[in-house]
Amino acid sequence: MTEIEFQHYLSTAIKEYAKNKIDAGTWTNENAFKNANASFKELLPAGIKTANTFFYSITFQADTVGYIWFASYRDNPLMAFIYDFKIYDNFQNKGFGSKALQLTTQEAKLKGFSSIALHVFGSNKRAIHVYEKNGFTTTDITMQKKL
């Protein structure tokens, strides 16, 4: 991913992350954007040049079909953690997600990681299906009940 692509990514990713956290009931509308912005600043203190952080644009022919960001997990440096991954809507259900995960797994292995992990919102059934199909298994579950 280029610096220009990264800046475009950031302009939408922080807002999208805040919305996902609101939809999941984790954050309130009042503090979601502030929390999302703080999370990105903590994870990316040097932006795209943050050490042990890897951003890729996913392309097919002349089209950018999505992106993926993974980095060394702060609690376990031998684990690569996928912090963000998206295949744009008009390119979904065409195998791009599975192929991107396969290539990311290979890349993480080449970089010396022994495992790869990610977080997925429980309501994202499509993503869960793709991750399970590509060998990811559940390690933790957070559950919530509306009152």
- Whole-model pTM? 0.89
In a domain, 91, yes or no: yes
In a domain, 140, yes or no: no
Across 48-62, average pLDDT: 95
pLDDT band at 124 (very low <50, low <70, confident <90, very high): confident
Domain housing 72: 3-133
Virtual CA dihedral for 131, 33, 53, 139, nearest 10 degrees?
-30
In a domain, 29, yes or no: yes
Report d(CA 43, CA 73) in Å as an integer.
Answer: 10
Identify the pLDDT of residue 42.
95
In a domain, 85, yes or no: yes
Number of domains in the chain: 1
In a domain, 26, yes or no: yes
Please provide the average confidence, as pLDDT, over all residues in the chain.
93
Report d(CA 72, CA 54) in Å as an integer.
Answer: 9
In a domain, 138, yes or no: no
List the CATH number of the domain containing 9: 3.40.630.30
Q: Is 145's pLDDT higher than 90?
A: no
In a domain, 22, yes or no: yes
In a domain, 117, yes or no: yes
Long-range (24+ apart) CB contacts under 8 A made by 127-132 are 127/97, 130/97, 130/98, 130/101, 131/101
Q: Is 123's pLDDT higher than 90?
A: no
71-122: per-residue pLDDT in tens?
999 899 999 999 999 999 999 999 999 999 999 999 999 999 999 999 998 8
